[in-house]
Each structure stands twice: as C-alpha cells, then as structure tokens.
Amino acid sequence: LAKTTQPISMDSYEGQEVNITCSHNNIATNDYITWYQQFPSQGPRFIIQGYKTKVTNEVASLFIPADRKSSTLSLPRVSLSDTAVYYCLVGERENSGYSTLTFGKGTMLLVSP
C-alpha cells in the first residue's frame, strides 16, 4: 500500500469551501485514491474514490493531477455537520481475494459557526 501524508487538522467556517490535500508520492499504476469520513462515535464511511482528473458526487469532489502524486478532497460550502476526520487511502480498486484497509491518523476538520 502506498504511504499517504495529509494534514493533522484543519479549521474552517460554515459556508466556506474546504480543500484537504493528500500526498502519495509512491502511488502505483493500478492504485486508486479513496477517501473516508468518520464522525465522532461512528464508523468510517466511504465518500469518494478516483483514479485521475476529477470525480464528483453528492458529497464531495476529488481532484487528481496528471502525475497522481497527490489528490485534493474538496467539500463545497461546509456546514457544522461536516466536522469529522477525513482519511485518504491509496490502493488497488479491485481485489479478487481479500483486501485490508490501512488508516492513518487522518485530517481532523473542525467547522465553526
């Protein structure tokens, strides 16, 4: 699994756009980039996955430059309920046998009024 580096914490205010960048210099050709969100006292929740360029869903956007050595999770117009820990993971998208997730410490996003 490629090692990832992301900020320990970030602060924002309601209504702002938040961008969390993850560095993954050793990403392999078959690796996808995946982000999870974890609210206090809950299990992590898959939010978005991408391989290159841009992916958008109802929750977030994921921007991946051409060299794929980093990625940016973008949360538009955050609210207090977006306060959570965000984890960046890198690895193969499909695995016929098994797969295990390795979570780092993630980025603690605190949204204030």
Partner 1 sequence: NAGVTQTPKFQVLKTGQSMTLQCAQDMNHNSMYWYRQDPGMGLRLIYYSASEGTTDKGEVPNGYNVSRLNKREFSLRLESAAPSQTSVYFCASRGRLLAYEQYFGPGTRLTVT
Residues forming the site for partner 1 (CB under 8 A):
32, 34, 41-46, 49, 87, 89, 91-95, 97-106
Q: Which residue number, 77 or 110, has a Cβ lying nearer to partner 1? A: 110
Q: 77 or 93: whose CB is closer to partner 1?
A: 93
In the complex, minimum distance from the CB of residue 68 to partner 1, in angstroms, rounded to a whole number: 15
Q: Which is nearer to partner 1, 16 or 21 (CB)?
A: 21
> Can you tell me the distance from the alpha carbon of 82 to that of 111, in angstroms, rounded to the nearest whole number?
7
- Smallest distance, Å, CB 61 to partner 1? 18
Q: Which residues pair with 32 in a beta bridge?
A: 91
End-to-end, the C-alpha distance of the chain in Å comes to 38
Q: Are 62 and 35 within 8 A, CB to CB?
A: yes
Write phi, then psi, for 66 (nearest 5 degrees). Answer: -60, -35
